[in-house]
Structure 1
């Protein structure tokens, strides 16, 4: 028997994207009234989601696949899970595969949780007696005992993920493929899932392919990894080098310009009041995130919404800063640039690495959305004036407080 679980050779995936050709107002209106675009009114563009992908994964290895959103990670997993076919190249899978790529993967919404467990087991080629032997363990791990006979369509996304992962991990697949979907669950369940994947890989000798933005989780579970950028494998190495490569790519990406049809995000950077170097800021000090947004249209864009999401290295959202929260819409003057600055006084973040996701919309239509566009590091500071801070595992944020004593 070969010791290779997955072999990928010269793999590529091409999509054809249609764009409506620009024409007269009358032609555009007529096409919308008809409710369709004719082939002659469409321009075809080829987009390669993956190009020339080559790698091998041995049996029993846990391999992490990381990269920015849109890099091609999910497309690769869909090919390996036989959900979509490659455009070029070939791949070989030696073993039974169980995949968890999207919330509710493989579930029939009208069937109950119980019925879906048996359905999934049957699809994997298991006999009813085998599924029954695992049933109680699956339900117990998922924590949805009370709702096991309820149709899955009534489950929350978190409940679906719990049951889907439990089914995927316990029905004895030889290869377990898990995408970012675990981020939907709570932190406790994520930890539980990582422990199960570690057990499946190390103790049971099964292969795990794991995609996540949670660098701590990837490093704790995997020994090897792939870094994918723009549809190609940038690095195939031990997981420590892969994570460092990913973080370095984020730093390089911060200088890139982001554009939509009507605006451009020309600049985004961290500014520390104390001029700390290299995107460093201390706990308790004041810093700001500064953006330069250009209006590329010939009209004033009024009430533009700008939002920033700050997440930790584990992928958990810690802060959300949003002009909509204080009804402070941004006005972008025609064909000019506007500086927008979010100021955080007395930085409440505990020491660690953080990522900033940026979202900009106009009239409720998304214009620019980039996950993990910027990275910065918070180092120890004197938030409480005592020179002491809680440990990282004790807190996510710092808040001022007073103590009152009744003598």
Structure 2
């Protein structure tokens, strides 16, 4: 079966700063090359899109030499760091912008939701925008009318359907926009990170609908998200982009593991002190059974999570918490007893006693709170891997009833900086 989406050497270059090269002669040189069908000479000095480094060129490649095939009925997640090129790829696939070089071939109609209110006119009502959006997607009036009631019911904005959408909140906007994109009968559904605007109940509803569209109706779904649990739940395949290049394209679980390994995988993380908060995290590190910092932990081995944080003013009921997650799913969370701490720097050590984890990549989140009030949370502060082939036959793992989450008791100790032996 031929693919419904085929990208060949797909690249997109952008010029930083103002449009134009800065000189009339170079502008004419580029124009003359374009007339002759030649490559833009200015692109030869383009650089990889690494936003963390200062470059030497004003031309950056947001995407560079991307190649992939997507079959009908596939649900494909697109993951990567901010600035990796995910949104640019979706814009090219949605024909919002054209590639600089290479080509992309699509088979079928496309419904896109790239940002809140995509394709909506603010002065028109929700009802009018449904018909407008459907017409843009190439639907006949009869098709739109047939799905109209289902769209309104799914969106949950029936009371406001005849109100101009400029008066909608961002959550109402995205509810109606997703309902239109998912229910009008396009063969390819493209969704960017906009679902994060909706509430938890609506996000769950959207994921269910996208799963139904892909598995039940055989339509193709492309989904960008930083929520690895959503990608794992919805997608059967995933693409990993890094600095505009395709690093990995495989089954979703394998791609997510690759992303977590390459995305700042480290045994120690340093954070900038936030003096505007009553306390803030300064660093975190993972220490193996030999007392060394390591991002590779042996199965059935004890390891320690060390969290260093600064208390800017004396506080009561201070709690430090750490959580372990796998592909966005919480595995274990523990926290210290509420304590009264004076101004200063503190180190809290969480001792993990024989926590049995399967082979894979895990992330650690860190939180500081005063009583029930959250002060600071850092997700994916540390990333580590378990690299043994399999669990031993003698391994005993306890699970919480009906949840499948691992239960484990952690010991902790908090020491003030000037009292520690380093």
Q: Normalising by structure 1, report the TM-score.
A: 0.63
Mapped pair 1:7 → 2:23: no
What is the rounded CA distance, in whole Å, between the counterparts of 2:100 and 2:270 in structure 1?
A: 30
Match of 1:122 in 2: 135
Match of 2:243 among 227, 230, 233: 230
Match of 1:76 in 2: 89
SS in 2 for 1:68: coil
**Structure 1 ranges of 4+ moved more than 3 A:** 253-259, 265-280, 285-291, 308-317, 339-345, 351-358, 370-377, 388-395
Per the TM alignment, residue 373 of structure 1 is displaced from its structure 2 partner at its CA by 5.4
SS in 2 for 1:119: helix
Count the aligned residue pairs. 323
Query: Relative to structure 1, is the Cα distance of residues 186 and 59 closer, same or farther in structure 2, using a 3 angstrom cutoff?
Result: same
Query: Relative to structure 1, is the Cα distance of residues 181 and 57 closer, same or farther in structure 2, using a 3 angstrom cutoff?
Result: same
Contact 1:97 1:174 (C-alpha < 8 Å) held by counterparts:
yes
Contact 1:65 1:226 (C-alpha < 8 Å) held by counterparts:
yes
Structure 2 unaligned spans of 5+: 19-55, 273-280, 314-320, 334-341, 352-356, 367-377, 386-397, 406-422
Contact 2:267 2:384 (C-alpha < 8 Å) held by counterparts:
no
Match of 2:114 in 1: 101
Match of 2:68 in 1: 55
Match of 2:285 among 269, 274, 280: 269
Mapped pair 1:171 → 2:179: no
Contact 2:363 2:380 (C-alpha < 8 Å) held by counterparts:
yes
Structure 1 unaligned spans of 5+: 20-42, 260-264, 294-301, 320-327, 331-338, 346-350, 359-369, 378-387, 396-407
* Paired residues for 1:118-157 under 5 Å: 118-157=131-170
* Paired residues for 1:5-404 under 5 Å: 5-18=4-17, 45-252=58-265, 269=285, 288-290=306-308, 372=380, 374-375=382-383
> Residue deviations 1:152-195, cap 9 Å, x none?
12222221111111100000110001112112222222221111
Per the TM alignment, residue 99 of structure 1 is displaced from its structure 2 partner at its CA by 0.7
SS in 1 for 2:124: coil
Per the TM alignment, residue 246 of structure 1 is displaced from its structure 2 partner at its CA by 1.2
Query: Relative to structure 1, is the Cα distance of residues 258 and 46 closer, same or farther in structure 2, using a 3 angstrom cutoff?
Result: farther
Quote the RMSD (CA, aligned, Å): 4.8
Per the TM alignment, residue 209 of structure 1 is displaced from its structure 2 partner at its CA by 0.9
